[in-house]
């Protein structure tokens, strides 16, 4: 018989299985979905735990969110992000300075360039403005002054813009640096002037010991600071240090040198072995004071032109304007030169100047002084004529200035054709010989030597040497001797570097005497060699024995 | 007393590094310049006018000392000779506590004499304030001064001890 409990249990198991099967059939979809959800959930959990994955998840959202916020609430976003941006940039700069610099360089470089260019432009504009304001009339005045003084216009203009003044003057013992005397243009006397004297000497010593090349001691001449300069005029036992501002002119340098020489003459004996005893230098400050006063007076005098000069300048300007307008509207047809010269009673004096000229100029002068002319026009002396070269043009004008004492010399000398002058000089030269001799005498040798540089100046031209003789003896004898004379000169020229193929020798004998042979004196003049520079190639090569 | 005669003299202050030369001058002079000069030029000039004194011949003189404080060099040959020229005398400064600062002195003195044969010298043994009274160096510095035939003064730039005196002593031997 069947056990009821057992059958119950069996039926119960059966029902459970059936239920399970039923569940499986009914819930299979749901279960799959749950499993999927669980999987998804796990994936999400993993993504949340993993920073990288979370970031990749949030990235698009954050960006979109920020973009949206920036569009809708830009101001608020700025307020929120502002405080964070500063530290972030600082941190970034600290950690990756080079990267930041590299990234910003093109931008910042351009910005700086632009700013600097703008600043320079402003500066230039402001300087130009100031110069325009300061110089419109002063510039003109400076240029006129420069012309009259014979200095460069730039120098004069600079002096106008940067007025020159002496502030202090020190006279300092060179070896010890002890201040011998000091004057100041300012009322207040410097309490530390002695120390300044010492320090200036120390600076000089330093430059001398530390910077001079061995064997060639060099003196310091100028120390510059701010708008000032300390100009040092070095003497044997002492030096002058002058504190100046502005642009010094030639007068200053000349005067300071003169002062140094004057003080040296007076105090050299004392300063050679200076004991520091200041008793014998008591007059020194007043000497410096006097120099300063006189210099300032000279400067002031030259700064402030007298009334007549101002009137004259104004007149000149008006005249120039009238002439300018006339030329503008009525230009001259053919160029005409009208020179009106007032010859004054000084004519005689001028002649004597011309006579004396040769005594003051070197014997080797190539300019023909006879062609010079001096013309006086008011306070101006015009020097006219032809000079052989630029150097002689200047030299002659200088001597004329010295001899005449005129304040203004207008050098109107023109340069003669230098080649022509050389040729003329060579062609005029005669080399003289003794009777029946072809030996070149010492004095004649000197003449030939002096011609060598001239031959070199016309190196593309040939030279003909023409031998002559007196009338004594036979034709053949004279022809031979004249040939030998010319050959002797040729040999000497070759020995002195003149190319052989540039020299031709021609013997004339007694056939073409330079002067008549009536007296011994004339015959001596015919015993010579004459030079002839050949003008062109057609002249060359035609020997006439 | 008659009007004194003003006599200006150049005096050099010589010695090794860190012996207190500049402090000695600062204690002594009226006009103090920036010490920058020392490091740039290697020298700093100061002045001091001493009280008038009567010389044995009856003349009353007043010395104005131009003191050239010359930066200490490692070797005596490193000194620029230009700084020595035209000097009437020199103060040789040493550090009492550091004997190696004494060794350069004889050569330095000779170099100075070569340029200024008539020069007068005094030895300023500085930093006395750092030594106890019975320290051996005090005896040794006296021997050293005798050896180089120079009068010596124990000084302290810190307290000002003897600072005026050694300058006066130097001036009295001009």
Per-residue confidence (pLDDT) for residue A333, from 0 to 100: 44
**In chain A, what are the domains?**
162-303 (3.30.450.70), 347-416 (3.30.1340), 421-533 (3.30.1330.60)
Nearest Cα to Cα of residue B24 among B65, B55, B57: B65
Q: Is B82 on the interface with A (CB under 8 A)?
A: yes
Q: Is B8 on the interface with A (CB under 8 A)?
A: yes
3-state secondary structure at position A237: coil
Residue range A210-234: mean pLDDT, rounded? 75
Partner residue facing B85 (CB), from A175, A179, A199 = A175
Nearest Cα to Cα of residue A237 among A175, A289, A302, A313: A175
Nearest Cα to Cα of residue A206 among B20, B9, B70: B70
Partner residue facing B33 (CB), from A178, A195, A279 = A195
Residue range A282-290: mean pLDDT, rounded? 89
Q: A538 or A292: which carries more pLDDT confidence?
A: A292
- pLDDT surpassing 80 at residue A208: no
Per-residue confidence (pLDDT) for residue A341, from 0 to 100: 35
Pairing of strands B43-49, B60-70: antiparallel
Q: B138 or B124: which carries more pLDDT confidence?
A: B124
- 8 Å CB contact of B31 and A191: yes
- 8 Å CB contact of B45 and A195: yes
Separation between Cα atoms, residue A295 and residue A248, nearest integer Å: 12
Q: DSSP class of residue A281?
A: G
- 8 Å CB contact of A176 and B86: yes
- pLDDT surpassing 50 at residue A381: yes
Partner residue facing A206 (CB), from B7, B80, B87 = B80
- Each residue of A17-70: pLDDT tens digit? 888 888 888 888 888 889 999 998 988 888 888 878 788 778 778 878 888 888
Separation between Cα atoms, residue B29 and residue B34, nearest integer Å: 13
- 8 Å CB contact of B10 and A198: yes
Complex confidence, ipTM: 0.85
If you measure CA to CA, which chain A residue comes closest to B64? A276
- pLDDT surpassing 90 at residue A432: yes
Contact list, B88 vs chain A (CB under 8 Å): 176, 276
What is the torsion angle, in degrees rounded to the nearest 10, for the CA atoms of residue B90, residue B91, residue B92 and residue B96? 180
Separation between Cα atoms, residue A77 and residue A167, nearest integer Å: 66
Scanning A150-186, the segments in alpha helix (DSSP H) are 153-161
**In chain B, what are the domains?**
5-172 (3.40.50.300)
- Each residue of A6-16: pLDDT tens digit? 777 777 888 88
Q: A61-70, A99-108, B99-108, B157-166: which range is least confident on average?
A: A99-108
Per-residue confidence (pLDDT) for residue A362, from 0 to 100: 80
Pairing of strands B89-95, B120-126: parallel
- 8 Å CB contact of A195 and B9: no
Q: Where are the beta strands (DSSP E) in A187-284?
A: 222-225, 228-234, 238-245
Per-residue confidence (pLDDT) for residue A345, from 0 to 100: 47
Q: Is B64 on the interface with A (CB under 8 A)?
A: yes
Percent of chain A with pLDDT over 90: 17
pLDDT band at A117 (very low <50, low <70, confident <90, very high): low
Nearest Cα to Cα of residue B17 among B156, B126, B113: B126
Partner residue facing B88 (CB), from A194, A276, A279 = A276
- 8 Å CB contact of B82 and A173: no
- pLDDT surpassing 90 at residue B66: yes
Per-residue confidence (pLDDT) for residue A434, from 0 to 100: 92
Choose, out of A174, A177, A278, the residue to mutate when testing the contact with B (most B CBs < 10 Å).
A177
Per-residue confidence (pLDDT) for residue B65, from 0 to 100: 93
Residue A265 vs residues A253, A287, B52: alpha-carbon distances, Å: 18, 13, 32
3-state secondary structure at position A504: strand
Nearest Cα to Cα of residue B89 among B5, B7, B4: B7
Instruction: Report yes or no: B123 and B151 within 8 Å, Cβ to Cβ.
Output: yes
- pLDDT surpassing 70 at residue A303: no
- pLDDT surpassing 80 at residue B73: no
């Amino acid at each position: 018989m069947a056990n009821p409990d057992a059958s119950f249990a069996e039926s119960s198991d059966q029902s459970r299985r059936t239920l399970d099967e039923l569940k499986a059939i009914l819930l299979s979809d749901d279960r799959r979905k749950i499993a999927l959800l669980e999987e998804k959930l796990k994936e999400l959990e993993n993504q949340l735990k993993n920073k990288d994955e979370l970031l990749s998840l949030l990235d698009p959202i954050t960006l979109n969110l920020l973009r949206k916020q920036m569009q809708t609430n830009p101001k608020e976003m700025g307020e929120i992000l502002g405080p964070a941006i500063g530290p972030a940039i600082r941190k970034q700069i600290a950690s990756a300075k080079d990267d930041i610099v590299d990234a910003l360089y093109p931008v910042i470089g351009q910005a700086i360039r632009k700013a600097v260019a703008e600043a320079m432009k402003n500066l230039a504009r402001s300087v130009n403005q100031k110069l325009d304001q300061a110089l419109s009339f002063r510039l003109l005045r400076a240029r006129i002054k420069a012309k009259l003084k014979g200095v460069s216009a730039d120098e004069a203009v600079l002096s106008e813009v940067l007025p020159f003044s002496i502030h202090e003057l020190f006279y300092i013992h060179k070896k010890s640096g002890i201040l011998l005397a000091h004057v100041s243009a300012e009322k207040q006397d410097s309490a530390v002037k002695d120390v300044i004297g010492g320090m200036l000497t120390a600076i000089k010593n330093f430059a001398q010991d530390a910077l001079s090349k061995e064997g060639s001691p060099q003196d310091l001449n100028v120390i510059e600071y701010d708008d000032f300069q300390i100009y040092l005029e070095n003497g044997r036992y002492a030096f002058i240090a002058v504190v100046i501002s502005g642009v010094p002119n030639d007068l200053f340098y000349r005067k300071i040198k003169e002062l140094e020489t004057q003080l040296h003459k007076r105090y050299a004996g004392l300063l050679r072995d200076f004991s520091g005893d200041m008793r014998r230098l008591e007059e020194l400050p007043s000497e410096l004071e006097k120099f300063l006063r006189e210099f300032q007076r000279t400067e002031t005098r030259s700064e402030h032109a007298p009334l007549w000069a101002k009137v004259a300048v104004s007149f000149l300007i008006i005249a120039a304007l009238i002439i300018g307008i006339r030329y503008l509207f009525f230009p001259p047809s053919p160029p005409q030169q009208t020179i009106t010269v007032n010859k004054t009673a000084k004519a005689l004096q001028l002649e004597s100047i011309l006579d004396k000229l040769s005594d003051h100029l070197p014997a080797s002068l190539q300019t023909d002084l006879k062609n010079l002319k001096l013309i006086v026009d008011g306070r101006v002396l015009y020097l006219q004529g032809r000079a052989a070269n630029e150097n002689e043009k200047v030299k002659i004008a200088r001597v004329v200035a010295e001899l005449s004492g005129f304040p203004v010399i207008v050098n109107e000398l023109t340069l003669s054709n230098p080649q022509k002058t050389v040729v003329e000089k060579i062609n005029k030269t005669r080399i003289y010989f003794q009777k029946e001799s072809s030996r070149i005498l010492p004095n004649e040798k000197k003449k030939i030597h002096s011609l060598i540089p001239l031959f070199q100046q016309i190196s593309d031209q040939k030279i003909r040497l023409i031998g002559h003789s007196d009338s004594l003896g036979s034709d053949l004898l004279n022809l031979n001797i004249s040939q030998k004379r010319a050959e002797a000169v040729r040999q000497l020229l070759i020995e002195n570097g003149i190319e052989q193929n540039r020299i031709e020798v021609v013997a004339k004998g007694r056939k073409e005497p330079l002067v008549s042979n009536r007296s011994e004196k004339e015959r001596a003049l015919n015993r010579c060699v004459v030079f002839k520079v050949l003008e062109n190639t057609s002249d060359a090569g035609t020997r006439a024995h | 007393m008659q009007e004194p005669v003003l006599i200006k003299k150049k005096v050099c202050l010589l010695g090794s590094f860190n012996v207190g030369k500049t402090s000695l001058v600062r204690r002594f002079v009226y006009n103090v310049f920036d010490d920058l000069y020392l490091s740039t030029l290697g020298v700093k000039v100061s002045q001091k006018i001493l009280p008038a004194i009567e010389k044995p011949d009856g003349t009353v003189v007043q010395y104005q000392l131009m003191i050239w404080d010359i930066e200490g060099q490692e070797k005596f040959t490193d000194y620029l000779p230009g700084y020595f020229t035209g000097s009437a005398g020199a103060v040789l400064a040493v550090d009492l506590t550091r004997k190696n600062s004494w060794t350069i002195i004889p050569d330095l003195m000779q170099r100075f004499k070569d340029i200024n044969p008539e020069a007068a010298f005094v030895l300023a043994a500085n930093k006395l304030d750092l030594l106890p009274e019975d320290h051996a160096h005090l005896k040794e510095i006296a021997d050293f001064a005798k050896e180089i035939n120079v009068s010596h003064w124990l000084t302290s730039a810190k307290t000002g001890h003897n600072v005026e005196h050694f300058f006066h002593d130097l001036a009295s031997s001009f």
